[in-house]
Chain A
Amino acid sequence: MSLYTLLGAFEIGLIFSLVALGVYISFRLLRFPDLTVDGSFPLGGAVAATLISTGTDPFVATVVATIAGAVAGLITGWLNIRLKIMDLLASILMMIALYSINLRIMGKPNVPLITEPTVFSVLQPDSISDYVLRPMLLVVVVLAAKFLLDWFFSTQTGLAMRATGSNARMARAQGVNTGLMVLGGMALSNALVGLAGALFAQTQGGADISMGVGTIVIGLAAVIVGESLLPSRRLYLATIAVVVGAIVYRFFIALALNSDFIGLQAQDLNLVTAVLVTIALVVPKLRQHWSGRKGN
């Protein structure tokens, strides 16, 4: 693997670590199986790309894309809390609705960003190559997101949100408005995913209607890989594990696709993902099995 592909994998890994943090909030903290991300990721991309291509400042466009993601999460939460639709189904409804919404926003299946300014090109100094600068900026963004989440989930409100996912009945008995917590958590989760989509569109030369396919699996893969590499229940370690998981996952994908002797091609990506997730799910169980036998 060349340095270029290595940095490329690192860059995409960082972007997907934002998705993974979002998925961690919904799946692990709220225990809400949320597939909205397959729609809110391209939503972020579509909003950012469309706004930038019509002359909006890329930073403003990125912020608007993040808010759009939050709104998508809010609606999924609302379908579940107010209309009492099962969580998984509510998120699937939102996901397919977003497919049409994204097409409407873009007005066509894709919006290229080739010559337009992006948050990366605006900050680009002459002395650093763009493929080095992008990962550097993304490290800052991801670390900021990680520390903000660590802080939020140790506040009174954040703790109430975690309690809602862990034991909603107890949370209510302590006076927590659990419905509101689910809405807030879903908004937060999908805001991160929307932000990731906006950054992805700006690094990959535009938004495409199919860019969201499998986002949830990649996000979940990152969470699972991270948890098996760094098993911990402490929140600040869990968030770092999730970020590391996303990066490691992208490295493995890049490795698999760039090793000629394996003979894998880009279209095998989803298969590789499925195999990696399976391995990550099985390894901790095998480890338990073996250590259990040793103990006897």
Chain B
Amino acid sequence: MGLLDKQFTDDNIIITKVEDLLNWARLSSLWQMGFGLACCAIEMMATSASHYDFDRFGVIPRPSPRQSDVIIISGTVTFKMAIRIKRLYEQMPDHKYVISMGSCSNCGGPYWEHGYHVLKGVDRVIPVDVYVPGCPPRPEALLEGLLKLQEKIRNETLVSKTA
């Protein structure tokens, strides 16, 4: 509780909005689905490993879609894989978020023209919250994408998902 530490003089009662509390809880423990697709997955692993350390933002890899809040589409989505990705997304519990990592999952990347087996953007099968550009994006770029997602969650209301 770094933000609220030593902020109180006597009784520790906080008055806040339900929305703010829920949003704060959601954005501080975004469990990520540990799911690698292609080259970007290596950068995703590097982001979660010692040097860049995802965990300090509350992002912990989970092996199952049923336990995760955010799915990072890290790499080229092929037609054969697109069906599986859609199903994995549907298995995640609600409030779920999608980060599209890298050019391939944004728009097809280097395979946009002749890749007869490559889906030209994962947003054709599932809704995407944050697009991270790059081929592959640097770990810093992925972290920036994550911070953008947290910003987005912070502004959510109970009435509608996107503020």
The answer to whether A and B interact is no
